[in-house]
Amino acid sequence: MAGEAKPVTAPSKSALISCRNLTKIYKMGQSEVRALDGVDLDILEGEFVAIIGSSGSGKSTLMNMLGALDQPTTGQVTINGENVGTMKSKSLAEFRNATIGFVFQQFQLLPKKSALKNVALPLQYRKPKVKDAAQQAAHALSLVGLADRSGHRPTELSGGQQQRVAIARALAGNPKVLLADEPTGALDSKTSTDIMKLMQDLNANGITIIVITHEDEVAAYAQRVIEFKDGRIISDKRNEEAAA
Amino acid sequence: MNALSTLGLAASSIIERPLRSLLTSLGIVIGVAAVYAMLALGEGAKKQVEESLNSIGTRTMQVWPDWNRGRSSQTRPSMPFTEEDIREMRAINGVFAATGTLTGRGYTIATDISDVNGNFLGVDPDQLKASGGEMKLGENISFADIETRRPVVVISEGIQQRLFDGQNPIGQTVKVNNVAFTIKGVASKPDSNISFGNDDLFAWAPITVARERVIGGNRFVQNHVSNIMVVGDIGQNLNSIEEEVNTILRRSRDLKVGAPPDYRIFSSRGWQEQAAEETKALSFLLAAMGAISLLVGGVGVMNIMLVSVTERTREIGLRMALGAKKSNIMNQFLTEALLLCILSGIVGLTLGFFMSKLAMDTMDVELVFSPSVALISFGSALMIGVVFGFLPARRAASLNPIEALRHE
């Protein structure tokens, strides 16, 4: 019960993401699993953060909280000044659309749609309606170096290119945070390097990036590495090499 | 996400899976076609029955003396009807025409140069209306003719053909029983439902003249007539008229309460109404069959949509993660089901139209294009879309994005 014993401080106003006493409990039949156990965490705007840990450490649960896909059992998640924990499903959807850009391990591209249409997908749900969605999507594709592939379907692209399309899709809506869940998990090492370098470039241009990974090589590209174990943060280090 | 882009999304989803969309829609196409064809067929049959119900023959009741009386039984013979009875019946509410006829069959109707055997009838002006005939030339027998006992006659086209070679016979003279009649008009033959067989040789004279100079009177009553025809107005309940006819006749012949009548009333209304009932039952049965096939089609749609939701679970999860609300997902799948059903409905309606046309041609029923039938069958396709699309759409909308994204 360490979470309850800890003094709870107010969420940081300067941080883009601020977690206070973040706890998530899953009920599995009779027993309870504390996937997150009183996590306090601040992530500043413009940071490139890697969250590492073995499976079951709680990093995926954290990613769901930070992505506004799930809500905590207790505690607070404040993203971009808004308390995600108390939002209704409808506002959560709008919030995700406006604030978060997701990158998934399995790319999650729609196989029958062109790269451009895939990238434009989040803009479909944007309110008010985006008038120049196609141009915005094309611009996002050019940011990941795939301007000449906009008409290709995902099956006609390599794995690395597919993940670039997915990153472009995450960027298309101009989110505050890029949230990447094992972005190189389905890629070979060379392509992984390209993807991580692309992320570094994007971060250098100002966007906040959070990468969830269990690979130290991937984490090495981040400026800050936070390690999870059993639902708690066990280390939070500056990565001197990457930061330099 | 507005309605138009939801529609576009649904359309592209249908186009992206052409074979599946085609197979799914087949059930609805057949269902709508069946419902349309069945209903249209039922309407056609109903219209036919209605027409026959409104025809003069069906609206007519004939009153005849009971011929069984006075012969083998110990009963007293039938009293003849009188012109007074007819006048009373003409005053009944809802009566289109009431007429008494004095029949004299097998008379020779002759000109100077030829003759023909035909039906010679004593009539009043209502005879023409009641028998469904119409004047072709000249004028009908009038009440004045009856009053003043003018020896005039209206002949049928058959007689006109036989005696005058189809020429205009108005003003000419024919003799019946050596009584000279001036031809006043030519009329078509009576509706075959009423006439005596297909005979088309008729001569109609004022009833008074026919009685007094040709056919002869009756020793029991004055102004007797052989039989009565009463025709109801279109849509009139013939049963209530029949009741009043009974009242009039029982009173005029002084029948005691409970005494059996010495006359009989014939009407084809009974079996016509039965036919209408049967048609109604048939249409209902046919429509029910169509509805069942539509239901089966609807279950097919639901089935495929459920499969589609399962198959596209990851897509749904992705869309939710990217900002789709539950309502967006719900609308997407509902629109897809609805669009599928609308397209199927259009195809089914076209198919049903030609199916019913074919059926009606072979069954010799007039094709009725009824907008209400089209609307019902198309509307049922829409309803199927909403009803059977709802469950899969709700299932899609209630998915948890995290689990949906992890779905294999």
Q: Shortest Cα distance from A29 to chain B (angstroms)?
A: 18
Please answer yes or no on whether A112 and B16 come within 8 Å at the CB atom: yes
Q: Which residue's structure tokens are 């029955």?
A: B49
Which helix (H) or strand (E) is B91 found in, with range? none
Q: In this structure, what DSSP letter does residue A148 have?
A: G
**Residues B134 and B187: beta-carbon distance below 8 Å:** yes
Q: Please give the residue of chain B at the shortest CA–CA distance from A112.
A: B16
B314 in contact with chain A, both atoms CB, cutoff 8 A: yes
Please answer yes or no on whether A89 and B16 come within 8 Å at the CB atom: no
Please give the average per-residue pLDDT across B235-250, as a whole number: 86
Residues with Cβ within 8 Å of residue B92, at least 6 apart in sequence: B98, B230, B241, B244, B245, B248
Q: Is the dihedral of CA B251, B252, B254, B256 positive or negative?
A: negative
Chain A residues touching residue B18 (CB < 8 angstroms): none
HSE value, Cβ hemisphere, 13 Å, CA-based, for B249: 25
Bridge pairing between strands A31-43 and A17-28: antiparallel
B1 in contact with chain A, both atoms CB, cutoff 8 A: yes
A91 in contact with chain B, both atoms CB, cutoff 8 A: no
**Residues A107 and A166: beta-carbon distance below 8 Å:** yes
Please answer yes or no on whether A98 and B323 come within 8 Å at the CB atom: yes
Q: Shortest Cα distance from A65 to chain B (angstroms)?
A: 11
Chain B residues touching residue A104 (CB < 8 angstroms): 318, 405
Q: Please give the residue of chain B at the shortest CA–CA distance from A100.
A: B322
Which ipTM was obtained for this model?
A: 0.91
Does residue A128 have a cis bond before it (omega within 30 degrees)?
yes
Segment B61-119, tens digit of pLDDT: 888 888 777 666 567 777 889 988 999 998 888 888 899 988 876 788 888 888 888 88
Q: Find how far residue B285's CA is from the centre of its chain.
A: 18
Query: Which tokens in the block code for residue B126?
Result: 């209502």
Confidence of residue B314 (pLDDT cuts 50, 70, 90): very high
CA angle B113–B204–B91, rounded 5-degree value: 170
What per-residue string of b and e applies to B196-224 under the rule 16 or more CB within 10 Å gives b? Answer: eeebbbbbbbbbbbbbebbbeebeebebb
pLDDT number for residue B71: 61
Distance of alpha carbon A140 from alpha carbon A160, whole angstroms: 16
C-alpha torsion A10→A12→A18→A20, nearest 10 = -20
Q: Shortest Cα distance from B358 to chain A (angstroms)?
A: 42
Out of B272-286, B317-331, B372-386, the most confident range is: B317-331
Q: Which residue's structure tokens are 């035909």?
A: B118
Ranges of chain A with pLDDT below 70? 1-8, 241-244
- Name the region of B138 (left: φ>0; alpha: ψ -120 to 50; beta: rest): left
Segment B293-313, tens digit of pLDDT: 888 888 888 888 898 899 999
Distance of alpha carbon B13 from alpha carbon B27, whole angstroms: 19
B5 in contact with chain A, both atoms CB, cutoff 8 A: yes
Residues with Cβ within 8 Å of residue A20, at least 6 apart in sequence: A8, A9, A10, A11, A40, A75, A76, A78
The beta-carbon neighbor of B1 closest among A89, A104, A125 is: A125
**Residues B330 and B1: beta-carbon distance below 8 Å:** no
Probe site for chain B from A55, A108, A129 (most B CB atoms < 10 A) = A108
Q: In this structure, what DSSP letter does residue A109 have?
A: -
Q: Shortest Cα distance from A100 to chain B (angstroms)?
A: 8
Please answer yes or no on whether A124 and B5 come within 8 Å at the CB atom: yes
Residue A32 burial class via C-beta count within 10 angstroms: exposed 0-12, middle 13-18, buried 19 and up: exposed
Please answer yes or no on whether A69 and B322 come within 8 Å at the CB atom: no
Q: Shortest Cα distance from B321 to chain A (angstroms)?
A: 7
Residues with Cβ within 8 Å of residue B396, at least 6 apart in sequence: B309, B312, B316, B329, B330, B332, B333
The beta-carbon neighbor of B328 closest among A98, A110, A125 is: A125
Probe site for chain A from B2, B13, B318 (most A CB atoms < 10 A) = B318
Segment A143-194, tens digit of pLDDT: 899 999 999 999 999 999 999 999 999 999 899 999 999 999 888 989 999 9
Within a 10 A sphere around the Cβ of A199, how many other Cβ atoms? Answer: 23
Chain A residues touching residue B320 (CB < 8 angstroms): 93
Confidence of residue B266 (pLDDT cuts 50, 70, 90): confident
pLDDT number for residue B255: 85
- Chain B, window 7-66: residues with a beta carbon less than 8 angstroms from a chain A beta carbon: 9, 16
pLDDT number for residue A207: 93
A98 in contact with chain B, both atoms CB, cutoff 8 A: yes
Please answer yes or no on whether A110 and B1 come within 8 Å at the CB atom: no
Please answer yes or no on whether A169 and B322 come within 8 Å at the CB atom: yes
Please answer yes or no on whether A93 and B323 come within 8 Å at the CB atom: yes
Distance of alpha carbon A116 from alpha carbon A174, whole angstroms: 16
Q: Which of B314, B319, B330 is nearest to B397 (CA)?
A: B330
pTM of the predicted model, to two decimals? 0.69
Distance of alpha carbon A168 from alpha carbon A143, whole angstroms: 7
Chain A residues touching residue B1 (CB < 8 angstroms): 124-125
Q: Please give the residue of chain B at the shortest CA–CA distance from A89.
A: B325
User: Does position B397 have pLDDT exceeding 90, yes or no?
Assistant: yes
Q: In this structure, what DSSP letter does residue B211 have?
A: I
pLDDT number for residue B194: 52
A105 in contact with chain B, both atoms CB, cutoff 8 A: no
B323 in contact with chain A, both atoms CB, cutoff 8 A: yes
Q: Shortest Cα distance from A81 to chain B (angstroms)?
A: 19
Please answer yes or no on whether A93 and B320 come within 8 Å at the CB atom: yes
A186 in contact with chain B, both atoms CB, cutoff 8 A: no
Please answer yes or no on whether A93 and B1 come within 8 Å at the CB atom: no
User: Dihedrals φ, ψ of A13, to 5°?
Assistant: -80, -30
CA distances from residue A208 to A51, A145, A200, A241, B47 in whole angstroms, order as listed: 14, 20, 10, 18, 76
In chain B, % of residues over pLDDT 90: 24
Q: Please give the residue of chain A at the shortest CA–CA distance from B2.
A: A129
pLDDT number for residue A4: 47
CA angle B14–B20–B22, rounded 5-degree value: 80
Q: Shortest Cα distance from A138 to chain B (angstroms)?
A: 18
Per-domain boundaries in chain B = 3-52+274-406, 79-261
Segment B193-223, tens digit of pLDDT: 555 555 788 899 999 999 998 888 887 788 8
Please answer yes or no on whether A110 and B2 come within 8 Å at the CB atom: no
Length of chain B: 408
Bridge pairing between strands B81-82 and B95-110: unpaired
A121 in contact with chain B, both atoms CB, cutoff 8 A: yes
- Of A51 and B1, the structure prediction assigns the larger pLDDT to A51
Query: Which tokens in the block code for residue B196?
Result: 């005596």
B262 in contact with chain A, both atoms CB, cutoff 8 A: no
Q: Shortest Cα distance from A243 to chain B (angstroms)?
A: 30
Please give the mean pLDDT across all residues of chain B: 85
